[in-house]
Amino acid sequence: MIGWQPRALEREAILTPRFPLHWDTLRVNNLRMGNSLLDFIMTRKKTRTSYRFILKKGQPIKLHFAPESPAGMVIRQILMDNKPIFSGDGKQSSGCGDTLHFVLSKEKILEYEHQAGIGVIPYISRPLPEDSSAGYRIIADTWHENQYTLELEGASDTFADFVIHIFDQQVHSIENAEILSLDDKGLLKIRVRFPAAREKYSKTSVRIFL
C-alpha cells in the first residue's frame, strides 16, 4: 500500500503509494532509510492531490516517487513547492504514473492537478447477527473510451449498493443499476439488482458512460 523501498547504501528510496480511492487524507510517520526518518502526508480532492514530505532526522534522501493514478485520470500539471515541473499531454492513465526523482533535504510539497479518473470502492459487508452471507463481490472492473464496466456477483434476487469514485466527472447514462447519489467529493452511489437464478449466487454487469 505504501510501497516504501529504502536503499541505505545508495542513500535513496523508492515510494510507490497505492491508496484506496475513498481515502481523502493519510499521514505515515517515521519511514526509515538508514539513520534518516521522514513523514509522508497525502491530501486528495476532486481535481488536485498533494503529497508532503518532511525529513525529520538524518541526512538528505534521494526519492523516486511514483504514486498510482486511477484509470482514466489525466495529469494536467505537477508542481513542486509551487513551481511547475510537468505539464501533461492529455493522456489518460492506466495505473502507475511516471516516476519523479528529487532530493529531500528538509521538506517538499508535490501537487498533482488532474481531471477525470474512476475506480470502485471495495465492498464492505456489514451483516447483522444471524444474517447469512450475501456474497457480494467485485469480480473485475475495466475502463475503455469513457465506459466503465463492473462485473459483480451477489446473492440471487437481491439488491446491493456500491460506490464509485468518478472525481469531477458526470454520468451520461448507466446500465443495470440505479443512481442513488453523487456527492461533492465525486463519490457515486449506485444500487444493483442481482437477477433471480437457480444457483445461490448470480452475476451482473454494470456499465457507466461518462
Q: Which long-range contacts (CB under 8 A, 24 or more apart) does 143-147 make?
A: 143/71, 143/72, 143/118, 146/72, 146/209, 146/210, 147/207, 147/208, 147/209, 147/210
Of residues 98 and 51, the one with the higher pLDDT is: 51
108-132: average pLDDT = 81
Q: Is the pLDDT of residue 127 over 80?
A: no
Q: Provide the mean pLDDT of the chain.
A: 90
* H or E segment to which residue 207 belongs: strand 201-209
In this structure, the answer to whether residues 105 and 188 fall within a common structural domain is no
Range of the structural domain that residue 75 is part of = 4-115
- Interval 194-209: pLDDT, tens: 999 899 999 999 999 9
pLDDT, tens only, 64-91: 999 999 999 999 999 999 999 988 765 5
- The pLDDT score that the predictor gives to residue 123 is 82
Regarding whether 178 and 124 lie in a shared domain, the answer is yes
Does one domain contain both 68 and 125? no
Confidence label for 184 from pLDDT (cuts 50, 70 and 90): very high
Q: Are residues 11 and 102 in the same domain?
A: yes
